[in-house]
Amino acid sequence: MKSQLAIVALLLLVTCSLIGQEQDSLSANDIEPPLRLELTIDGKTYTLKDGDEIKLKDVAANPTVSVRSAAFRQFQFESVYFEYPTHFAYTFEEDFGYRIWSLDGSDFIILMFVYDVPVVLDELVDEMVAQFGAENCTITPFERKLGEIPCIGKKIEVSLIGQSLNYEILDIPYPDDKKRILAFQDIRDETGNSSSESTLTMQQINTSFKLIK
């Protein structure tokens, strides 16, 4: 029998929305990673978070100073670290036995699933195909190296009502009893090419991704 957690997670992935529920208080997971600021003084750039202090030496009497939002935020939960675009919307959901983070751009969505019970990645893939219809899906085994970490999973190409969607669902290896699955959804353009948002985001994830033990 398929895991009920896998089915719930699959529905979240397909609809790209999370089930709302009341919570008595915010946990650390509910809080969006802070916006980072780039402070540039006479051509030298310092990256800071809200509330950070910096002590500078040998600064000119009348320095040229500029401040702007950094292009990326830092995702660091459940021993997984990567950087993602600052403008992506952040949502967190949890229930008994699982936690889900959703980072939503205009054309590209990142989802991380963490389960406290055994879940097989293929269960998510099978349920997704059932939702879209097998005749609309092409499934291929897939490997991607995130940072220095080789990950194995499945790629699903979906053609539905004139729209082309690409899903990558990857098993994140980690030496504990939890199951971590990272999923990417991209809305392809009219010619079937990856969105520019997908290309930029994956470049940053590929260079920043690491597992923290």
User: How many structural domains compose the chain?
Assistant: 2
Q: Are residues 142 and 169 in the same domain?
A: yes
Statement to judge: residues 107 and 127 lie in one domain: yes
87 with 61, same domain: the answer is no
147 and 62 within one domain: no
pLDDT value, residue 46: 82
> Mean of the pLDDT values across residues 82-103?
94
Q: Which residue has the tokens 């949502």?
A: 91
Task: Note whether 164 and 131 are same-domain residues.
Answer: yes
CATH for 152:
3.40.1000.10
Domain co-membership, 141 together with 105:
yes
Question: What is d(CA 129, CA 122) in angstroms, rounded to the nearest whole number?
Answer: 10
Task: Give pLDDT, residue 5.
Answer: 45
Would you list the DSSP string of 65-125?
EEEEE-SEEEEEETTEEEEEETTSEEEEEEETTEEEEEEE-SSEEEEEEEESS---HHHHH
> CA 177 → CA 60, 118, 148, 174, distances in Å?
54, 8, 22, 8
Map residue 132 onto helix, strand or coil: helix
Let me know whether 156 and 196 are in one domain. yes
Q: How confident is the model at residue 65 (pLDDT cuts 50, 70, 90)?
A: confident
Kind and range of the H or E run holding 64 = none
Do 26 and 57 fall into the same domain? no
Supply the mean pLDDT for the chain.
85
119/43 same-domain check: no
pLDDT of 11 reads: 52
Looking at the whole model, is its pTM more than 0.85? Answer: no
What does the pLDDT look like over 156-182, one tens digit per residue?
999 887 788 999 999 999 999 999 999
132, 53: one domain: no
d(C-alpha 40, C-alpha 44), whole Å: 5
CA distance 150 to 211: 11
Q: Residue 14 sits in which domain range?
A: 4-31+71-211
Helix (H, G, I), strand (E, B) or coil at 195: coil
Q: What is the pLDDT of residue 118?
A: 80
How far is 12 from 9, CA to CA, in rounded Å?
5
Written as six digits, the tokens of 96 are 């008994």
Strands 98-104 and 149-160: unpaired
Specify the higher pLDDT residue, 138 or 18: 138
CB-side neighbour CA atoms (13 Å) of 137: 17
- Same domain membership, residue 206 and residue 112: yes
Cα 23 from Cα 21, distance rounded (Å):
6
